[in-house]
């Protein structure tokens, strides 16, 4: 039986991020994707032009309907809009207890539009993240969650420790917002800390990278892969999606979700900083 996974996120009418990116990623990686819609956006590569939230009652109904019928092995969350919807999703996840819950703490769209109300950050920190097994912030999101600036590698380690203290098993702080030659992600769990690296690609077509990476990670975990292998494979998937850009739209274009079919070379390297025998 194919693994069955769930995404709880907003709709991107431009097709590059959100629910659409998640389902494309699930399909490419051979898992069966189900979805729960939290909001509808009027969005394209130039930005977010409107947001309309789905009622909390309907969000809960969707989650329960999926969970009651499908054997969901892994679940991810994306855009959740506000504290009320974050709490509703967190309560539903606590009831259903999926084996893997990947939280992508979506705060701002590529064009700069806010996708999470400021008042919702505390709900994210205290309600949702404790229900997660993995949280995948980029550096600006990690700064908000950890309550500190991140300027150095030591800062990133300290921030990861602070976010883990919120109750999540594993923190992945992505390196897409640096100017380094390599895009370096820091992964910290109780039993290991390591970095995964890929050559940085200079492109404006990076809309939906966070959604796509977290969806790929969700799919790989659903296959039963170890944390390290799942992260490496998800990093390879998003690297190829960026490398084989589509040049669509006038702004921040989408990644290419079938890019992994066009090149198979392994470009990801792993630098283990800490591990115990229990992995």
Q: What is the pLDDT along the chain (279 residues), one digit of tens a residue?
A: 899 999 999 999 999 999 999 999 999 999 999 999 999 999 999 999 999 999 999 999 999 999 999 999 999 999 999 999 999 999 999 999 999 999 999 887 666 666 677 778 999 999 999 999 999 999 999 999 999 999 999 999 999 999 999 999 999 999 976 777 889 999 999 999 999 999 999 899 999 999 999 999 999 999 999 999 999 999 999 999 999 989 999 999 999 999 999 877 778 899 999 988 544
Note the pTM of the prediction, 2 decimals: 0.95
Q: What are all long-range contacts of 87-90, with beta carbons under 8 Å and residues at least 24 apart?
A: 87/123, 87/127, 88/56, 88/59, 88/60, 89/8, 89/38, 89/59, 89/63, 89/128, 90/123, 90/127, 90/128, 90/130, 90/131
Active-site residue list: 174, 206, 208-211
Q: Where are the domains of the chain?
A: 4-275
CATH (residue range 4-275): 3.40.1190.20
pLDDT at 277: 57
């Amino acid at each position: 039986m194919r693994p069955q996974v769930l995404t709880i996120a907003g709709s991107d009418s431009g097709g590059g991020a959100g629910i659409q990116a998640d389902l494309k990623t699930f399909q490419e990686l051979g898992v069966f994707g189900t979805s729960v819609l939290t909001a509808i956006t009027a969005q394209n590569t130039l930005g977010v032009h409107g947001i309309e939230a789905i009622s909390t009652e309907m969000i809960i109904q969707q989650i329960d309907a999926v969970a009651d019928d499908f054997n969901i092995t892994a679940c991810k969350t994306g855009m959740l809009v506000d504290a009320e919807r974050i709490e509703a999703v967190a309560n539903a996840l606590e009831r259903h207890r999926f084996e893997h819950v990947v939280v992508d703490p979506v705060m701002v769209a590529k064009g700069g539009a806010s996708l999470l109300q400021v008042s919702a950050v505390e709900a994210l920190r205290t309600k949702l993240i404790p229900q997660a097994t993995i949280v995948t912030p980029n550096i600006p999101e990690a700064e908000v969650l950890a309550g500190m600036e991140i300027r150095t590698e030591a800062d990133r380690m300290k921030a990861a420790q602070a976010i883990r203290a919120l109750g999540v098993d594993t923190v992945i702080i992505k390196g897409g917002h640096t100017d380094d030659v390599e895009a370096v992600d820091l992964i910290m769990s109780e039993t290991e800390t390591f970095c995964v690296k890929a050559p940085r690609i200079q492109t404006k077509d990076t809309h939906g990278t966070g959604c796509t990476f977290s969806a790929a990670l969700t799919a790989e975990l659903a296959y039963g892969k170890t944390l390290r292998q799942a992260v490496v494979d998800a990093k390879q998937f998003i690297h190829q999606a960026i490398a084989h850009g589509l040049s669509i739209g006038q702004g921040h274009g989408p990644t290419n979700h079938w890019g992994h079919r066009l090149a198979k070379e392994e470009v990801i390297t792993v630098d283990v900083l800490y591990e115990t025998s229990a992995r």
